Amino acid sequence: MRDRADRNILLDDVEFTDEDVNQGLEFVTSAYNAVTPQTDIMPQSWPPHLQYVLLLGVSWYLIKSATFLQLRNQATYQDGDIQPIGIDDKYPLYMQLWQSLKQEWDTIVRDIKTQNNLESAYGYVGSGYANVSRFHHK
């Protein structure tokens, strides 16, 4: 997310701490596992081929948490003929970014879960009628 102190000229610090990122990792893993079919991936054991999904998920989690901060601390100031100057007034922008990231994450996760579900059924079609027949073979 390029959240580095030297790139945040207004903050002169990072926006998200390591604790924030770790919390995001925990909650996004939980959200991934809750999507059906449910899985039991641990935060430390994401498959290497799903690292983008993890990055995308942690990003939407962090941006969503920042939208709350933006909304809670919004203050706009105007003095005379100067354009209004806002502090923490980026709620609509953060919300739009969060929704975009979340939508992409939802789509990718749903596709992954569907594919995994289909692959687990390959070669077998379960049915309650599999052993029911009018004919009894001896």
Task: Please write the tens of the pLDDT for every residue from 21-40.
Answer: 999 999 999 999 999 999 99
Q: Is position 4 within any domain?
A: no
Structure tokens at 63: 């941006």
pLDDT tens profile 54-75: 999 999 999 998 888 777 766 6
Q: Is position 25 within any domain?
A: yes
**30 or 131, greater pLDDT:** 30
Total tally of structural domains belonging to the chain? 1
pLDDT at 11 over 60: yes
Structure tokens at 40: 């039991």
Q: How far apart are the first and last CA of the chain?
A: 67
Three-class secondary structure of residue 95 per DSSP = helix
Query: What is the pTM for the complete model shown?
Result: 0.72
Residue-number span of the structural domain to which 73 is assigned: 17-77+86-118
Q: Is position 134 within any domain?
A: no
Structure tokens at 79: 């003095």
Q: Is position 65 within any domain?
A: yes
Q: Is position 48 within any domain?
A: yes
Q: Is position 131 within any domain?
A: no
Q: Is position 30 within any domain?
A: yes
Nearest Cα neighbor of 43 from 32, 52, 35 is 32
In sequence order, which residues have a C-beta less than 8 Å from that of residue 112 and are 6 or more positions away?
A: 50, 53
